[in-house]
A and B are shown apart, each in its own frame.
Chain A
């Protein structure tokens, strides 16, 4: 023990000193950026858009439009004023980061210009555009918009306040309830998204819209031998405002910007914790040992994390028990790597992931034995321009279950990644092998992260291009002759926006140009639309994989009235949109597109 104390002290000394050492390795910077040689100075004042009064102690950041990098940042002072020095020439989006203030939502990628992205998504400017020439200073007036607020109290079924309850929000977007990312994607103990000791919560800075409020209890360490009805995983016990156990029964909260939706009180109905038990077996009926199980609510499967946070494993005879589950519909999925034990023999194996639906109602649920199968295997070669790729780790095509291959718009990246299988090539010879694939129908698709260096050209097996027709896998199938070809012969599309009828020579200056895949196959190759600004002469250019596209140009006013740009939109409006077809390496010039969609 005494030696340990000595070690502790030595380590703590090192840690405390490391505060200074670590600090001293970074560049010293005072409140304002030190005067750099050259660069413009951006001065400004931030005021609340509703009262006109200064917004103090708010962080302002200048993001470069081209790549989203924060070039400079500062805090506003007592007058709401700020100074950003040494800004190189360019176009920027100035963002305000302060509690309760609305921020742009649509910034998802560094590929498309910041301003074009957020304008298209938010349909309004929650930023201030700043253009500097690298020498002269500019003055800006920034208006900060107060978002809406949802606040209320959470009580138990016997009217006692529920502290440390976790709050998550869903917002209605294009007819679907989508998770409000910052309430789901956060480390669970974030104070603002938890009820206080009086059960009160308050979430500010929300864009206008319709919301659902979802409450779950806190997780507590369970340990030892607690009473049978004690439960540790409070995240299983969830309720929607006002007291509903499912989304259809939940009541919608309409949020107005600058206003407060108060009294959004949630009362937990009595939720009895039941259990789900069963067994996991291997292909030859061996016990599936140490298999990790994940459990989701069925209606949240697309966007929620595993409710049990990966804590459930099968034991040495393959059986499992998930305690603390209230009535509801669930999906249990089994991860892909388990041990199979058959009497004395154990072997580790990859098995195909499996999902089963379970309904819990009125009592403990016992599911039929879950039999895992080895799944199918596909193998073959990965090539880049016909040769073994040098950086093969960058080339990761995906195998996407057919039906889940929602294309360029709509589904969030998390939806896609949850159900896809990655194909990794071997650096030595470009060969790949993907095993333990569940039986089914699949599409090959480009990896979700957009790429400028190569695109998925074709996937050939027995003369059939699997980017155009799906691959059907039977359980246990072994397919070994797949050639996945990537290519670098991007094409380019250049053009200009034709002036609107009746406008004569007057050029449209400020337009956002959108290039979207025109077919389902293209949606698997270009996984998100490309967006650009047209220049001062209304010209634009895109570098894209060869294929078929829609091109459209929109003014900010037109963006506001546009319906969401998802796959359905492009299918419905296809006749009104300019369609472009282009081959590998082709440079298409002089494309004329009208402004707006008629």
Chain B
């Protein structure tokens, strides 16, 4: 069975285990309103034939209703309960919230700078609205070799630049056809860079993710470094053609070598290696990002599939190391690369396995134990020769032991996050968990400054109060580990009594509700800005309202309008905006309300 099949099976099983989440609002007695209308193209006024219409109370929830329009674009929602709704039309060629995604530290954002049609009903009236649908932009081109033959199955990669920051941008996967032609649809206004990955992908079982794209071979108009790529401007649903790339004759190279354990010199297996271009915008694959994106996104089922699929497409080239420790990446253009290796050290005979995982070395069922993974990164420059015989050594990991303590209560199963300064972008920044008695052991930790954090947002009314080691405040002063060290006595302290902040965001210009916008609360203490536990996200609903629970403390409050999710890293963003942000202080269990304003996005 291929990896994809297994992943899909696991997804299926996981979704079956999810308690079914009622995405719809509970029907109140007054649920007799009718919303009718017509969907038309904003530019021509012509109907959007058989568009799918969705009714949302908040863009973070799943749609409460879905229906289809007829061939004249007419639709009807009946038995609608009182409230404010977004009416969103989806169809091929249109811009709509889920037509494209920017993925960055703020989460997976459906990024479309358009105003959503909003309606308000009282539970008994009927209203009529016209939904204006905006065309999405398109980029088209042909990718060929110098001898004019087409590049077949070239995977298109897309980046977007906003506010000087370039991030990966994801629409439906696009690849070249039998003539080397491609087309990318669903693009909101903006500046884009287009690249193509035309190298060979690992075959069959060797490929970990069936949606892996590979290292981009070239960017429009034909350069290997994205910093030299030419931007393409999309405005008002324009169709830009002729974005052609001719791949030059220079051969693509390989980087290969062997992976060993530093302390024993033995070959490291099972283990894996990942490669990425240095300084190329990457999707932050740390699970913390996904968690944040999901923390306020209550549409459990649909989003998991979407998020997981997006993450799968962003996985960098990823190989399992062979039994003799060898690994090889092929078809790489020249440039600077970062190769990251990871593996779990072989178990001692006397150590009891944590989860009963087979410790047999028979070969076919070995697993990289996620609780004990260690990493090593090397930087390499590829010029005009293959780089073979690259030896990477995995260090002995360090260990931290401690307890999770809940004020006045039984221990809970917290998610303990481990990070390194600068962020750990690997898929394996998997949260650790403590045992039911509150104790935990974090294994395979890297050398140097290690940041600990904990996520208890799954538990009612709980928040991370502090992480201490003796008298040391580990939230403000990261712990420093030497190789193979063991540090014991770390206390993760959880308290109860969340505060609640509700509020409303309005546009400065006309006091209209800033619906579908984002809100971020960050602890005011700059020493805490890098921690996930010091951030809380929310999204405004159709009435511009939001609500967010948070730990007691002093916060900076940021907001941005729909479709304008910032592209910078969170720390960068906060640093830039801190001086002009509103502040709010909340005590434990306190409820406060805040009124915010935001400027309408400039066209």
Choice from B79, B138, B322 contacting A30 with Cβ under 8 Å? B322
- State whether A226 and B76 are in contact (beta carbons under 8 Å apart), knowing that A4-B21, A77-B200 are contacts in the complex: yes
Choice from A2, A27, A163, A192 contacting B93 with Cβ under 8 Å? A163
Choice from A2, A11, A160, A164 contacting B14 with Cβ under 8 Å? A11
- State whether A73 and B204 are in contact (beta carbons under 8 Å apart), knowing that A12-B294, A21-B368, A28-B320 are contacts in the complex: yes
The answer on a CB contact under 8 Å between A149 and B178 is: yes
Number of interface residues of A (CB under 8 A): 79
- State whether A13 and B430 are in contact (beta carbons under 8 Å apart), knowing that A21-B368, A226-B75 are contacts in the complex: yes
Note all chain A residues with C-beta closer than 8 A to B564: none
Rounded to whole Å, the gap between the CB of A434 and the closest CB of chain B is 34
B11 at the interface (CB under 8 A from A): yes
A501 at the interface (CB under 8 A from B): no
Choice from B14, B145, B458, B460 contacting A15 with Cβ under 8 Å? B14
Note all chain A residues with C-beta closer than 8 A to B172: 191
The answer on a CB contact under 8 Å between A204 and B177 is: yes
The answer on a CB contact under 8 Å between B200 and A57 is: yes
How many pairs of residues, A versus B, come closer than 8 Å at their CB atoms?
257
Choice from B79, B136, B459 contacting A2 with Cβ under 8 Å? B459
Note all chain A residues with C-beta closer than 8 A to B252: 78
A472 to B87 CA separation, bound complex (whole angstroms): 61
A19 to B503 CA separation, bound complex (whole angstroms): 40
Note all chain B residues with C-beta closer than 8 A to A221: 52, 66-68
A3 at the interface (CB under 8 A from B): yes
A191 to B308 CA separation, bound complex (whole angstroms): 20
A227 to B69 CA separation, bound complex (whole angstroms): 7
Rounded to whole Å, the gap between the CB of A391 and the closest CB of chain B is 25
A196 at the interface (CB under 8 A from B): yes
Note all chain B residues with C-beta closer than 8 A to A198: 93
A448 at the interface (CB under 8 A from B): no
Give B276-327 interface residues, CB cut-off 8 Å to A: 287, 290-291, 294-295, 298, 300, 304, 307-308, 311-312, 315, 318-323, 326-327
The answer on a CB contact under 8 Å between B153 and A57 is: yes
Note all chain B residues with C-beta closer than 8 A to A21: 367-368, 370
B590 at the interface (CB under 8 A from A): no
Note all chain A residues with C-beta closer than 8 A to B21: 1, 4
The answer on a CB contact under 8 Å between B6 and A22 is: yes
Provide the A70-95 mask, 1 if CB < 8 A to any CB of B, else 0: 00011101100000000000000000
Choice from B65, B179, B291, B364 contacting A224 with Cβ under 8 Å? B65
A230 to B77 CA separation, bound complex (whole angstroms): 13
Choice from B7, B14, B71, B321 contacting A19 with Cβ under 8 Å? B7
Rounded to whole Å, the gap between the CB of A537 and the closest CB of chain B is 39
A56 to B75 CA separation, bound complex (whole angstroms): 49
Provide the A192-216 mask, 1 if CB < 8 A to any CB of B, else 0: 1000111000101100000000000
Rounded to whole Å, the gap between the CB of B215 and the closest CB of chain A is 14
A14 to B7 CA separation, bound complex (whole angstroms): 10
Choice from B75, B291, B366 contacting A230 with Cβ under 8 Å? B75
The answer on a CB contact under 8 Å between A225 and B76 is: yes
A156 at the interface (CB under 8 A from B): yes
- 30 chain-A/chain-B pairs, Cβ below 8 angstroms: A2-B459, A4-B298, A4-B300, A11-B304, A13-B287, A15-B11, A15-B14, A17-B430, A18-B10, A19-B7, A19-B427, A20-B272, A21-B367, A22-B6, A22-B10, A27-B363, A28-B321, A30-B327, A53-B147, A55-B149, A75-B200, A78-B252, A156-B71, A224-B67, A224-B78, A226-B70, A227-B74, A227-B75, A229-B71, A231-B68
Given known contacts A18-B7, A31-B206, A224-B76, what 12 new A-B pairs fall within 8 Å (CB)? Answer: A5-B295, A16-B430, A20-B427, A22-B6, A29-B204, A56-B149, A59-B203, A77-B200, A163-B91, A197-B185, A218-B50, A229-B71
